[in-house]
């Protein structure tokens, strides 16, 4: 894979590059770009996580040195899983198992825990330096990376540490290329501002889209941080668990919001666009001969043209998406069945502990 092919692989199916020129320069160097993505271990993953999993594989295939950062302290601060740190760690091990099943195993990526970073005094020096260069107002604007509004009532002081910690993570690892969903944009932009302030190496950033809730509705205004209609682990009816069986997938999609001919805000179309095509590069729509027979598309633009022209019935699209998702999550089901000790019951069935 030559340099241009590596750049194309790393950046395909993204919605923002900060900046394209900087990312191209990373691939002009002799040493591999150090890429990273961070996750809060906070519950069961959904099919929305197939988006970052595909991009993580893209980055590996493009020759990046990828770190998958399991932000257990951040999940504790954000009160995930009852603020029980053992459950959070179990959730992190489950996340690693899921990503291993999808091809991001420890032989291809480095897994690191926030617990490892916070043990070093130098880390907290970095956190304080970030905080001293960031106003309280700027910190509060970045609070949306926690999935919380900046004006949320009863916000404890620990949560104000979160944005500075996430920025410090990027420099302590260290990172050349920060990757995440668009909900992480504010943290990455803040890291770039801090780098300019102190003269530190400026991290580039890549962002992929978020999947809408299967219910539809709400807002997905990334400029203001409003992500009310994102597919969410905290609302089981909004998404599909990544280890769901075929019947669960079929039923969730059968009930999903999917207005005919509509692209914007249509979660089923988004699944096709952001999950199915990046993974399978085609879409087959099973359809009886009575209604014209099966359809097959080799790329998203051709599919969208047919969809908006009314050539595809919503129920046929839902059936096609269900078949594709069933294939994509099958390795996760198989892996977790063989390794029940790292399945979701390892953290869902534990008794919540008391916050420390």
Domain boundary assignment for the chain: 3-208, 236-347
Q: What is the pLDDT of residues 109-159, one digit of tens each?
A: 999 999 999 999 999 999 999 999 999 999 988 887 666 555 565 678 999
Domains 3-208 and 236-347 share a fold: no
Helix intervals (H) in the chain: 3-11, 20-26, 50-61, 72-77, 85-101, 114-118, 121-132, 136-141, 157-172, 185-198, 246-254, 267-271, 277-280, 300-308, 314-338, 345-348
Q: What is the rounded average pLDDT for all residues in the chain?
A: 91
Q: In whole angstroms, give the CA distance from residue 196 to residue 178.
A: 16
Fold of 236-347: Tyrosyl-Transfer RNA Synthetase (1.10.240)
pLDDT at position 226 is 45
Pick the closest to residue 271 from 225, 311, 329, 207 (CA basis).
329
Least confident stretch, 53-57, 199-203, 275-279, 352-356: 352-356
pLDDT at residue 187, rounded to an integer: 94
In angstroms and rounded to an integer, the radius of gyration of the C-alpha atoms of the chain is 21
pTM: 0.91
220 CB neighbour count, 10 Å cutoff? 18
Looking at residue 224, its pLDDT comes to 44
- Once rounded to an integer, what is the mean pLDDT over residues 178-202? 96
Distance from C-alpha of 176 to C-alpha of 264, rounded to nearest angstrom: 33
Q: What is the pLDDT of residue 231?
A: 62
In this structure, the number of other CB atoms found within 10 A of the CB of residue 2 comes to: 8
pLDDT class of 288 with cuts at 50, 70, 90? confident
Residue 233 scores a pLDDT above 80: no
Question: What span, in angstroms and rounded, lies between the C-alpha atoms of 247 and 319?
Answer: 11
Percent of the chain with pLDDT over 70: 89
Is residue 232 within 8 Å of 177, Cβ to Cβ? Answer: no
Distance from chain centroid for Cα 326: 19
According to DSSP, the β-strands at 16-18 and 204-208 are antiparallel
Give yes or no for a contact between 51 and 209, defined as CB atoms under 8 angstroms apart: yes
* Overall CATH class of domain 3-208: alpha beta
Q: Is 181 helix (H, G, I), strand (E, B) or coil?
A: strand
pLDDT above 80: residue 223 = no
Residue 352 has pLDDT above 90, yes or no: no
């Amino acid at each position: 894979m030559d340099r241009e092919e590596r750049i194309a692989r790393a950046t395909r199916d993204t919605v923002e590059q900060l900046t394209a020129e900087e990312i191209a320069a990373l691939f002009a160097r002799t040493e591999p770009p150090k890429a990273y993505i961070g996750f809060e271990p906070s519950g069961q993953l959904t099919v929305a996580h197939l988006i970052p999993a595909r991009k993580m594989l893209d980055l590996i295939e493009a020759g990046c040195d990828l770190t998958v950062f399991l932000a257990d302290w951040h999940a504790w601060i954000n009160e995930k899983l009852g603020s029980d740190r053992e459950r959070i760690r179990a959730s992190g091990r489950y996340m690693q198992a899921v990503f291993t099943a999808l091809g991001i195993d420890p032989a291809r990526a480095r897994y690191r825990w926030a617990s490892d970073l916070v043990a070093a005094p130098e880390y907290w020096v970095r956190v304080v330096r970030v905080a001293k260069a960031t106003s309280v107002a700027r910190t509060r604007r970045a609070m949306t990376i926690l999935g919380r509004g900046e004006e949320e009532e009863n916000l404890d002081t620990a949560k104000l540490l979160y944005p500075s910690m996430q920025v410090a993570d990027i420099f302590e690892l260290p990172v050349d290329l920060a990757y995440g969903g668009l909900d992480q944009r504010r943290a990455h932009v803040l890291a770039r501002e801090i780098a300019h302030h102190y003269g530190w190496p400026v991290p580039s950033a890549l962002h992929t889209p978020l999947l809408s809730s299967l219910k539809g509705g709400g807002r997905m205004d990334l400029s203001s941080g409003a992500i009310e209609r994102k597919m969410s682990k905290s609302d089981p009816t909004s998404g599909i668990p990544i280890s769901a069986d075929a019947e669960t997938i079929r039923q969730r999609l059968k009930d999903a919001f999917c207005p005919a001919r509509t692209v914007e805000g249509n979660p089923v179309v988004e699944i096709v666009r952001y999950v199915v095509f990046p993974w399978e590069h085609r879409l087959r729509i099973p359809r009886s001969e009575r209604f014209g027979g099966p359809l097959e598309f080799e790329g998203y633009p051709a599919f969208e043209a047919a969809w908006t022209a009314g050539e595809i019935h919503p129920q046929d699209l839902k059936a096609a998406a269900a078949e594709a998702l069933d294939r994509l999550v099958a390795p996760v089901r198989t892996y977790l069945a063989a390794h029940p000790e790292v399945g979701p019951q390892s953290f869902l069935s534990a008794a919540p502990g008391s916050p420390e």
